[in-house]
Structure 1
Protein backbone atom coordinates (compact mmCIF):
# COMPACT_ATOMS: atom_id res chain seq x y z
CA UNK A 1 0.00 0.00 0.00
CA UNK A 2 1.40 3.42 -0.97
CA UNK A 3 2.24 5.93 1.77
CA UNK A 4 -0.53 8.33 0.71
CA UNK A 5 -3.05 5.49 0.74
CA UNK A 6 -1.88 4.29 4.16
CA UNK A 7 -2.26 7.82 5.49
CA UNK A 8 -5.76 8.19 4.04
CA UNK A 9 -6.89 4.81 5.35
CA UNK A 10 -5.26 5.38 8.73
CA UNK A 11 -6.83 8.83 8.93
CA UNK A 12 -10.28 7.39 8.26
CA UNK A 13 -9.81 4.81 11.00
CA UNK A 14 -8.53 7.51 13.35
CA UNK A 15 -11.64 9.58 12.64
CA UNK A 16 -13.91 6.78 13.82
CA UNK A 17 -11.66 6.13 16.82
CA UNK A 18 -12.20 9.78 17.76
CA UNK A 19 -15.95 9.33 17.46
CA UNK A 20 -15.68 6.27 19.71
CA UNK A 21 -13.80 8.33 22.30
CA UNK A 22 -16.47 11.03 22.33
CA UNK A 23 -19.41 8.62 22.08
CA UNK A 24 -18.33 5.29 23.61
CA UNK A 25 -19.85 2.50 21.49
CA UNK A 26 -21.55 -0.73 22.42
CA UNK A 27 -20.81 -3.94 20.57
CA UNK A 28 -23.32 -4.49 17.79
CA UNK A 29 -23.26 -8.22 18.49
CA UNK A 30 -23.63 -8.42 22.27
CA UNK A 31 -23.98 -4.89 23.64
CA UNK A 32 -20.67 -4.90 25.49
CA UNK A 33 -19.34 -1.40 26.17
CA UNK A 34 -16.35 0.27 24.50
CA UNK A 35 -16.26 -1.79 21.30
CA UNK A 36 -18.12 -1.49 18.02
CA UNK A 37 -17.72 -5.22 17.42
CA UNK A 38 -15.93 -6.96 20.30
CA UNK A 39 -13.27 -9.65 20.07
CA UNK A 40 -15.63 -12.34 21.35
CA UNK A 41 -18.25 -11.57 18.70
CA UNK A 42 -15.57 -11.42 16.03
CA UNK A 43 -14.37 -14.87 17.11
CA UNK A 44 -17.95 -16.17 16.77
CA UNK A 45 -18.14 -15.13 13.10
CA UNK A 46 -18.09 -18.08 10.71
CA UNK A 47 -15.85 -17.28 7.71
CA UNK A 48 -16.88 -18.89 4.44
CA UNK A 49 -14.12 -21.33 3.59
CA UNK A 50 -13.60 -24.69 1.97
CA UNK A 51 -14.22 -25.74 -1.62
CA UNK A 52 -15.82 -22.70 -3.19
CA UNK A 53 -16.79 -22.02 -6.78
CA UNK A 54 -14.15 -19.75 -8.26
CA UNK A 55 -16.90 -17.66 -9.87
CA UNK A 56 -19.95 -17.35 -7.59
CA UNK A 57 -18.22 -18.20 -4.31
CA UNK A 58 -20.84 -20.79 -3.39
CA UNK A 59 -19.89 -24.23 -2.20
CA UNK A 60 -18.58 -26.48 -4.96
CA UNK A 61 -18.00 -30.03 -3.67
CA UNK A 62 -15.60 -30.85 -6.49
CA UNK A 63 -13.88 -27.46 -6.43
CA UNK A 64 -13.37 -25.27 -9.49
CA UNK A 65 -16.53 -24.00 -11.16
CA UNK A 66 -19.89 -25.11 -9.77
CA UNK A 67 -22.51 -26.70 -12.01
CA UNK A 68 -24.73 -23.61 -12.01
CA UNK A 69 -21.95 -21.28 -13.17
CA UNK A 70 -20.76 -23.81 -15.75
CA UNK A 71 -24.24 -24.05 -17.26
CA UNK A 72 -25.11 -20.35 -17.01
CA UNK A 73 -21.99 -18.21 -16.51
CA UNK A 74 -22.70 -15.00 -14.56
CA UNK A 75 -21.77 -11.59 -15.95
CA UNK A 76 -19.40 -11.06 -13.04
CA UNK A 77 -15.98 -12.70 -13.03
CA UNK A 78 -15.98 -13.47 -9.33
CA UNK A 79 -18.11 -13.07 -6.20
CA UNK A 80 -16.94 -13.76 -2.67
CA UNK A 81 -18.24 -13.15 0.83
CA UNK A 82 -16.37 -12.95 4.11
CA UNK A 83 -18.68 -14.88 6.43
CA UNK A 84 -22.05 -16.51 7.03
CA UNK A 85 -25.01 -14.24 7.75
CA UNK A 86 -25.66 -15.55 11.23
CA UNK A 87 -25.03 -14.80 14.91
CA UNK A 88 -23.26 -11.57 15.88
CA UNK A 89 -22.48 -10.66 12.26
CA UNK A 90 -26.15 -10.78 11.36
CA UNK A 91 -26.93 -8.46 14.28
CA UNK A 92 -24.15 -6.09 13.24
CA UNK A 93 -25.33 -5.87 9.63
CA UNK A 94 -28.91 -5.26 10.71
CA UNK A 95 -27.74 -2.45 13.00
CA UNK A 96 -25.75 -0.92 10.16
CA UNK A 97 -28.68 -1.15 7.77
CA UNK A 98 -31.65 -0.28 9.96
CA UNK A 99 -30.37 1.32 13.20
CA UNK A 100 -27.99 3.97 11.82
CA UNK A 101 -24.96 2.42 13.49
CA UNK A 102 -22.77 4.00 10.84
CA UNK A 103 -19.41 3.27 12.46
CA UNK A 104 -19.85 -0.43 11.70
CA UNK A 105 -19.07 0.20 8.03
CA UNK A 106 -15.41 0.86 8.78
CA UNK A 107 -15.15 -2.17 11.08
CA UNK A 108 -16.75 -4.53 8.56
CA UNK A 109 -14.56 -3.23 5.73
CA UNK A 110 -11.47 -4.57 7.49
CA UNK A 111 -12.03 -8.30 6.85
CA UNK A 112 -13.11 -7.48 3.29
CA UNK A 113 -9.78 -5.74 2.74
CA UNK A 114 -7.91 -8.88 3.79
CA UNK A 115 -10.21 -11.03 1.64
CA UNK A 116 -9.79 -8.97 -1.54
CA UNK A 117 -6.02 -8.81 -1.10
CA UNK A 118 -5.89 -12.60 -0.71
CA UNK A 119 -7.95 -13.11 -3.88
CA UNK A 120 -5.51 -11.00 -5.91
CA UNK A 121 -8.27 -9.73 -8.20
CA UNK A 122 -6.99 -7.15 -10.66
CA UNK A 123 -9.43 -4.26 -10.22
CA UNK A 124 -9.23 -0.51 -10.89
CA UNK A 125 -12.07 0.98 -8.88
CA UNK A 126 -14.64 0.35 -6.16
CA UNK A 127 -18.39 0.97 -6.51
CA UNK A 128 -21.03 0.44 -3.80
CA UNK A 129 -24.13 -1.51 -4.78
CA UNK A 130 -26.70 1.31 -5.01
CA UNK A 131 -30.11 1.63 -3.43
CA UNK A 132 -33.01 3.55 -4.95
CA UNK A 133 -33.32 7.30 -4.49
CA UNK A 134 -36.52 6.80 -2.51
CA UNK A 135 -34.81 4.34 -0.16
CA UNK A 136 -31.82 6.66 0.18
CA UNK A 137 -34.05 9.57 1.14
CA UNK A 138 -35.91 7.41 3.64
CA UNK A 139 -32.83 5.88 5.27
CA UNK A 140 -30.44 8.78 4.80
CA UNK A 141 -27.51 6.65 3.68
CA UNK A 142 -26.51 3.60 1.67
CA UNK A 143 -25.03 0.96 3.95
CA UNK A 144 -22.94 -0.46 1.10
CA UNK A 145 -21.22 2.92 0.70
CA UNK A 146 -20.14 2.88 4.35
CA UNK A 147 -18.32 -0.40 3.66
CA UNK A 148 -17.09 0.36 0.15
CA UNK A 149 -15.45 3.73 0.88
CA UNK A 150 -12.98 2.56 3.56
CA UNK A 151 -12.33 -0.56 1.47
CA UNK A 152 -11.34 1.66 -1.47
CA UNK A 153 -8.95 3.58 0.80
CA UNK A 154 -7.37 0.37 2.03
CA UNK A 155 -6.95 -0.92 -1.53
CA UNK A 156 -5.77 2.47 -2.85
CA UNK A 157 -8.40 2.37 -5.59
CA UNK A 158 -10.70 5.02 -7.04
CA UNK A 159 -14.07 5.21 -5.28
CA UNK A 160 -16.87 5.81 -7.79
CA UNK A 161 -19.94 6.61 -5.71
CA UNK A 162 -21.90 7.63 -8.84
CA UNK A 163 -20.63 4.96 -11.18
CA UNK A 164 -23.77 2.88 -10.75
CA UNK A 165 -27.31 3.88 -9.84
CA UNK A 166 -30.60 2.15 -9.23
CA UNK A 167 -33.18 3.34 -11.72
CA UNK A 168 -36.34 2.01 -10.14
CA UNK A 169 -37.72 0.93 -6.79
CA UNK A 170 -37.93 -2.82 -6.29
CA UNK A 171 -39.59 -5.02 -3.73
CA UNK A 172 -37.51 -6.15 -0.80
CA UNK A 173 -35.62 -9.31 -1.69
CA UNK A 174 -36.33 -10.76 1.76
CA UNK A 175 -38.32 -13.97 1.49
CA UNK A 176 -38.30 -14.16 -2.32
CA UNK A 177 -37.20 -17.42 -3.99
CA UNK A 178 -34.18 -17.32 -6.30
CA UNK A 179 -36.10 -16.92 -9.57
CA UNK A 180 -38.20 -14.06 -8.22
CA UNK A 181 -35.10 -12.34 -6.85
CA UNK A 182 -33.58 -12.31 -10.33
CA UNK A 183 -36.75 -10.92 -11.90
CA UNK A 184 -37.18 -8.37 -9.12
CA UNK A 185 -33.83 -6.66 -9.75
CA UNK A 186 -33.56 -7.29 -13.50
CA UNK A 187 -32.73 -4.10 -15.44
CA UNK A 188 -32.99 -1.98 -12.30
CA UNK A 189 -29.43 -0.58 -12.47
CA UNK A 190 -27.65 1.79 -14.82
CA UNK A 191 -23.94 2.58 -15.04
CA UNK A 192 -22.20 5.68 -16.38
CA UNK A 193 -19.98 4.77 -19.36
CA UNK A 194 -17.72 7.79 -18.83
CA UNK A 195 -16.81 6.47 -15.38
CA UNK A 196 -16.66 2.71 -15.90
CA UNK A 197 -15.81 2.10 -19.57
CA UNK A 198 -12.69 -0.02 -19.88
CA UNK A 199 -12.34 -0.43 -16.11
CA UNK A 200 -12.22 -3.51 -13.93
CA UNK A 201 -14.82 -2.84 -11.27
CA UNK A 202 -15.22 -4.17 -7.74
CA UNK A 203 -18.83 -3.90 -6.53
CA UNK A 204 -19.32 -3.93 -2.75
CA UNK A 205 -22.50 -4.88 -0.91
CA UNK A 206 -23.46 -5.92 2.60
CA UNK A 207 -25.12 -9.28 1.92
CA UNK A 208 -25.64 -11.68 -0.95
CA UNK A 209 -28.03 -14.60 -1.07
CA UNK A 210 -28.49 -15.83 -4.64
CA UNK A 211 -26.18 -13.32 -6.32
CA UNK A 212 -29.13 -11.76 -8.17
CA UNK A 213 -28.29 -8.17 -7.20
CA UNK A 214 -24.62 -8.61 -8.10
CA UNK A 215 -25.60 -10.16 -11.43
CA UNK A 216 -27.87 -7.20 -12.23
CA UNK A 217 -25.11 -4.75 -11.26
CA UNK A 218 -22.61 -6.62 -13.42
CA UNK A 219 -24.95 -6.58 -16.41
CA UNK A 220 -25.36 -2.79 -16.13
CA UNK A 221 -21.63 -2.25 -15.75
CA UNK A 222 -20.69 -4.52 -18.66
CA UNK A 223 -23.34 -2.83 -20.82
CA UNK A 224 -21.65 0.50 -20.02
CA UNK A 225 -18.28 -0.80 -21.13
CA UNK A 226 -16.68 -2.17 -17.96
CA UNK A 227 -14.11 -4.78 -18.93
CA UNK A 228 -14.60 -7.00 -15.88
CA UNK A 229 -16.78 -6.98 -12.78
CA UNK A 230 -16.08 -8.59 -9.43
CA UNK A 231 -18.25 -8.54 -6.34
CA UNK A 232 -17.56 -8.79 -2.64
CA UNK A 233 -19.95 -8.80 0.32
CA UNK A 234 -19.56 -8.92 4.06
CA UNK A 235 -21.95 -11.84 4.42
CA UNK A 236 -23.69 -14.58 2.50
CA UNK A 237 -27.04 -15.94 3.63
CA UNK A 238 -29.18 -18.91 2.80
CA UNK A 239 -32.58 -18.12 1.31
CA UNK A 240 -34.37 -19.08 4.52
CA UNK A 241 -32.05 -16.83 6.55
CA UNK A 242 -32.29 -13.75 4.31
CA UNK A 243 -33.99 -11.16 6.48
Structure 2
Protein backbone atom coordinates (compact mmCIF):
# COMPACT_ATOMS: atom_id res chain seq x y z
CA UNK A 1 0.00 0.00 0.00
CA UNK A 2 2.83 2.41 0.87
CA UNK A 3 4.47 1.76 -2.49
CA UNK A 4 1.19 2.37 -4.32
CA UNK A 5 0.58 5.63 -2.43
CA UNK A 6 4.11 6.77 -3.27
CA UNK A 7 3.68 6.39 -7.02
CA UNK A 8 0.23 8.00 -6.83
CA UNK A 9 1.85 11.02 -5.17
CA UNK A 10 4.55 11.10 -7.85
CA UNK A 11 1.92 10.98 -10.60
CA UNK A 12 -0.07 13.77 -8.90
CA UNK A 13 3.00 15.99 -8.69
CA UNK A 14 3.62 15.39 -12.40
CA UNK A 15 0.21 16.93 -13.09
CA UNK A 16 1.02 20.03 -11.02
CA UNK A 17 4.50 20.74 -12.32
CA UNK A 18 6.00 20.67 -15.83
CA UNK A 19 8.22 17.69 -16.65
CA UNK A 20 11.93 17.73 -15.93
CA UNK A 21 14.43 15.88 -18.10
CA UNK A 22 15.44 12.57 -16.54
CA UNK A 23 18.97 13.06 -17.86
CA UNK A 24 19.92 16.60 -16.84
CA UNK A 25 16.99 17.95 -14.84
CA UNK A 26 16.14 20.79 -17.22
CA UNK A 27 12.48 21.84 -17.36
CA UNK A 28 10.09 21.31 -20.23
CA UNK A 29 10.54 17.72 -21.43
CA UNK A 30 11.01 14.28 -19.90
CA UNK A 31 13.91 13.80 -22.32
CA UNK A 32 15.43 17.05 -23.56
CA UNK A 33 16.97 17.32 -27.03
CA UNK A 34 20.52 17.40 -25.66
CA UNK A 35 20.03 14.21 -23.63
CA UNK A 36 18.40 12.43 -26.57
CA UNK A 37 21.60 13.17 -28.49
CA UNK A 38 23.72 11.25 -25.96
CA UNK A 39 21.50 8.14 -26.02
CA UNK A 40 23.34 5.23 -27.63
CA UNK A 41 20.86 3.72 -30.06
CA UNK A 42 21.45 0.13 -31.13
CA UNK A 43 22.66 -0.13 -34.68
CA UNK A 44 23.05 -3.07 -37.04
CA UNK A 45 24.47 -5.65 -37.10
CA UNK A 46 22.91 -7.59 -34.26
CA UNK A 47 21.77 -11.17 -33.64
CA UNK A 48 18.83 -12.02 -35.89
CA UNK A 49 17.01 -13.64 -32.96
CA UNK A 50 17.83 -11.96 -29.63
CA UNK A 51 18.96 -8.58 -30.92
CA UNK A 52 22.33 -8.70 -29.16
CA UNK A 53 24.87 -6.40 -30.87
CA UNK A 54 27.39 -8.35 -32.93
CA UNK A 55 30.42 -7.48 -35.07
CA UNK A 56 28.82 -9.45 -37.93
CA UNK A 57 25.41 -10.27 -39.44
CA UNK A 58 24.03 -13.58 -38.25
CA UNK A 59 23.19 -15.46 -35.07
CA UNK A 60 24.99 -15.19 -31.74
CA UNK A 61 26.40 -18.40 -30.17
CA UNK A 62 23.67 -18.43 -27.49
CA UNK A 63 20.89 -18.49 -30.10
CA UNK A 64 22.52 -20.77 -32.67
CA UNK A 65 21.16 -24.05 -31.30
CA UNK A 66 17.95 -22.81 -29.68
CA UNK A 67 14.35 -23.19 -30.81
CA UNK A 68 12.81 -19.74 -31.27
CA UNK A 69 9.20 -18.60 -31.10
CA UNK A 70 10.05 -15.05 -32.16
CA UNK A 71 11.09 -13.84 -35.59
CA UNK A 72 13.52 -11.59 -33.75
CA UNK A 73 13.91 -8.95 -31.05
CA UNK A 74 14.56 -5.28 -31.71
CA UNK A 75 15.72 -2.99 -28.92
CA UNK A 76 15.94 0.76 -29.38
CA UNK A 77 18.84 1.78 -27.14
CA UNK A 78 21.39 0.55 -24.64
CA UNK A 79 20.21 0.32 -21.03
CA UNK A 80 22.36 3.16 -19.71
CA UNK A 81 22.33 6.89 -19.03
CA UNK A 82 19.02 8.71 -19.58
CA UNK A 83 17.29 5.55 -20.82
CA UNK A 84 18.19 3.59 -17.69
CA UNK A 85 17.03 6.45 -15.47
CA UNK A 86 13.79 6.80 -17.46
CA UNK A 87 13.00 3.09 -17.14
CA UNK A 88 13.68 3.21 -13.39
CA UNK A 89 11.35 6.18 -12.92
CA UNK A 90 8.64 4.63 -15.06
CA UNK A 91 8.90 1.19 -13.50
CA UNK A 92 9.45 1.94 -9.82
CA UNK A 93 8.62 5.60 -9.17
CA UNK A 94 5.21 5.96 -10.74
CA UNK A 95 6.33 8.37 -13.48
CA UNK A 96 3.76 6.96 -15.90
CA UNK A 97 3.87 10.12 -18.04
CA UNK A 98 7.24 8.87 -19.30
CA UNK A 99 5.50 6.11 -21.26
CA UNK A 100 4.51 8.51 -24.04
CA UNK A 101 7.97 9.95 -24.94
CA UNK A 102 9.59 6.54 -24.50
CA UNK A 103 7.03 4.95 -26.83
CA UNK A 104 7.83 7.73 -29.29
CA UNK A 105 11.45 6.57 -29.30
CA UNK A 106 10.29 2.99 -29.89
CA UNK A 107 8.01 4.07 -32.73
CA UNK A 108 10.87 5.95 -34.37
CA UNK A 109 12.79 2.67 -34.58
CA UNK A 110 10.13 0.76 -36.50
CA UNK A 111 10.44 2.50 -39.89
CA UNK A 112 14.00 1.16 -40.02
CA UNK A 113 12.92 -2.44 -39.45
CA UNK A 114 10.88 -5.05 -41.28
CA UNK A 115 8.25 -5.35 -38.55
CA UNK A 116 4.75 -5.63 -39.92
CA UNK A 117 2.01 -6.54 -37.47
CA UNK A 118 -1.74 -6.58 -37.00
CA UNK A 119 -1.71 -6.03 -33.24
CA UNK A 120 0.45 -5.14 -30.25
CA UNK A 121 0.65 -7.29 -27.10
CA UNK A 122 2.40 -6.21 -23.87
CA UNK A 123 4.36 -8.62 -21.68
CA UNK A 124 2.03 -9.10 -18.69
CA UNK A 125 2.70 -8.88 -14.97
CA UNK A 126 1.41 -11.48 -12.54
CA UNK A 127 -1.74 -10.16 -10.79
CA UNK A 128 0.11 -10.07 -7.45
CA UNK A 129 2.91 -7.91 -8.84
CA UNK A 130 0.39 -5.75 -10.67
CA UNK A 131 -1.36 -5.06 -7.37
CA UNK A 132 1.94 -4.23 -5.70
CA UNK A 133 3.07 -1.82 -8.45
CA UNK A 134 -0.32 -0.49 -9.42
CA UNK A 135 0.34 -0.62 -13.17
CA UNK A 136 2.24 -2.55 -15.83
CA UNK A 137 4.98 -0.44 -17.42
CA UNK A 138 5.07 -2.68 -20.52
CA UNK A 139 1.32 -2.19 -20.97
CA UNK A 140 1.74 1.59 -20.74
CA UNK A 141 4.45 1.51 -23.40
CA UNK A 142 2.32 -0.77 -25.59
CA UNK A 143 -0.75 1.45 -25.20
CA UNK A 144 1.14 4.57 -26.24
CA UNK A 145 2.88 2.70 -29.06
CA UNK A 146 -0.50 1.50 -30.32
CA UNK A 147 -1.77 5.09 -30.50
CA UNK A 148 1.34 6.38 -32.25
CA UNK A 149 1.43 3.58 -34.85
CA UNK A 150 -2.30 3.09 -35.32
CA UNK A 151 -1.94 -0.63 -34.59
CA UNK A 152 -4.60 -2.22 -32.32
CA UNK A 153 -3.65 -3.12 -28.76
CA UNK A 154 -4.74 -6.56 -27.56
CA UNK A 155 -5.43 -6.21 -23.85
CA UNK A 156 -5.79 -9.51 -22.01
CA UNK A 157 -4.49 -11.54 -24.94
CA UNK A 158 -1.55 -12.79 -22.86
CA UNK A 159 -1.52 -13.46 -19.12
CA UNK A 160 1.08 -14.49 -16.58
CA UNK A 161 -0.36 -17.53 -14.82
CA UNK A 162 2.55 -18.28 -12.49
CA UNK A 163 4.27 -15.90 -10.10
CA UNK A 164 7.99 -15.71 -10.82
CA UNK A 165 10.82 -14.09 -8.93
CA UNK A 166 12.61 -11.12 -10.44
CA UNK A 167 14.97 -11.93 -13.29
CA UNK A 168 17.54 -9.43 -11.99
CA UNK A 169 20.78 -11.17 -11.02
CA UNK A 170 19.89 -14.51 -12.62
CA UNK A 171 22.05 -16.27 -15.21
CA UNK A 172 20.75 -16.84 -18.73
CA UNK A 173 19.80 -20.44 -17.88
CA UNK A 174 18.16 -19.40 -14.60
CA UNK A 175 16.16 -16.73 -16.41
CA UNK A 176 14.91 -19.29 -18.91
CA UNK A 177 13.87 -21.74 -16.19
CA UNK A 178 12.33 -19.00 -14.07
CA UNK A 179 9.73 -18.05 -16.69
CA UNK A 180 9.13 -21.49 -18.19
CA UNK A 181 5.40 -22.14 -18.43
CA UNK A 182 4.57 -18.81 -16.80
CA UNK A 183 2.36 -17.45 -19.59
CA UNK A 184 -0.88 -18.32 -21.37
CA UNK A 185 -2.43 -16.71 -24.45
CA UNK A 186 -6.04 -16.48 -25.63
CA UNK A 187 -6.51 -18.15 -29.05
CA UNK A 188 -9.69 -16.14 -29.67
CA UNK A 189 -7.63 -12.95 -29.60
CA UNK A 190 -4.33 -13.93 -31.23
CA UNK A 191 -4.91 -16.87 -33.61
CA UNK A 192 -3.62 -16.12 -37.10
CA UNK A 193 -2.38 -12.63 -36.22
CA UNK A 194 1.12 -11.25 -36.68
CA UNK A 195 2.09 -9.52 -33.44
CA UNK A 196 4.52 -7.08 -31.86
CA UNK A 197 5.35 -8.16 -28.30
CA UNK A 198 6.36 -5.17 -26.16
CA UNK A 199 8.49 -4.97 -23.01
CA UNK A 200 10.68 -2.32 -21.40
CA UNK A 201 14.09 -4.04 -21.23
CA UNK A 202 15.62 -7.10 -22.88
CA UNK A 203 18.58 -8.82 -21.22
CA UNK A 204 18.70 -12.38 -22.58
CA UNK A 205 15.30 -12.45 -24.28
CA UNK A 206 14.08 -15.31 -22.07
CA UNK A 207 10.84 -13.62 -21.02
CA UNK A 208 10.01 -12.49 -24.55
CA UNK A 209 10.71 -15.95 -25.97
CA UNK A 210 8.54 -17.67 -23.35
CA UNK A 211 5.73 -15.23 -24.12
CA UNK A 212 6.28 -16.05 -27.78
CA UNK A 213 5.88 -19.78 -27.17
CA UNK A 214 2.61 -19.16 -25.31
CA UNK A 215 1.35 -17.05 -28.21
CA UNK A 216 2.41 -19.71 -30.70
CA UNK A 217 0.51 -22.35 -28.73
CA UNK A 218 -2.53 -20.12 -29.21
CA UNK A 219 -1.91 -20.21 -32.98
CA UNK A 220 -0.52 -16.69 -33.36
CA UNK A 221 1.22 -15.89 -36.63
CA UNK A 222 4.65 -14.27 -36.77
CA UNK A 223 5.80 -12.52 -33.59
CA UNK A 224 8.47 -9.86 -33.12
CA UNK A 225 9.79 -8.64 -29.79
CA UNK A 226 10.24 -4.89 -29.33
CA UNK A 227 11.84 -3.33 -26.25
CA UNK A 228 12.91 0.15 -25.32
CA UNK A 229 16.29 -0.94 -24.00
CA UNK A 230 18.88 -3.68 -24.25
CA UNK A 231 20.85 -4.56 -21.11
CA UNK A 232 24.48 -5.73 -21.38
TM-score, L = length of structure 1: 0.86
- Whole-angstrom CA distance in 2 between matches of 1:53 and 1:212: 15
Q: Which residue of 2 aligns with 1:40?
A: 34
1:202 aligns to 2:196 (yes or no): yes
Cα distance, 1:26 vs structure 2: 1.4
8 Å Cα contact 2:50-2:204 kept in structure 1: no
Shift of 1:174: 0.6
Q: Over aligned residues, Cα RMSD in angstroms?
A: 1.6
The equivalent position to 1:144 in structure 2, one of 124, 138, 157, is 138
Q: Given the alignment of the two structures, is residue 29 of structure 1 paired with residue 1 of structure 2, yes or no?
A: no
Deviations 1:33-64 (A, max 9, x none): 22211122211211011321222211233313
Aligned residues: 220
Counterpart in 2 of 1:223? 217
Counterpart among 153, 166, 178 of residue 159 in structure 1: 153
Instruction: Tell me the distance in 1 between the aligned counterparts of 2:164 and 2:154.
Output: 23
Q: Gaps spanning 5+ residues in structure 2: where?
A: 1-12
Residue of structure 2 in register with 1:12 after alignment: none
Query: Which residue, 52, 67, 71 being the options, matches 1:58?
Result: 52
Partner of 1:168: 162
The separation in 2 between residues aligned to 1:89 and 1:223, in whole angstroms, is 33
Q: Tell me the equivalent position of 1:77.
A: 71
* Alignment of 1:127 onto 2:121: yes
* Secondary structure of 2:96 counterpart: coil
Provide the C-alpha distance between the structure 2 equivalents of 1:127 and 1:207, rounded to a whole number of angstroms. 15
Query: How much has 1:20 moved relative to structure 2?
Result: 7.1
Moved more, 51-60 or 142-151: 51-60
Give, in angstroms, the shift of residue 21 of structure 1: 7.8
4+ aligned runs moved over 6 Å, structure 1: none
Unpaired segments ≥5 residues, structure 1: 1-18, 239-243
- The SS at the match of 2:85 is helix
Aligned to 2:112: 118
What's the TM-score once normalised by structure 2's chain length? 0.90
Q: Indicate which of 176, 181, 184 corresponds to 2:178.
A: 184
Match of 2:83 in 1: 89
> What is the DSSP-based 3-state SS (H/G/I as helix, E as strand, rest coil) of the residue aligned with 1:158?
coil
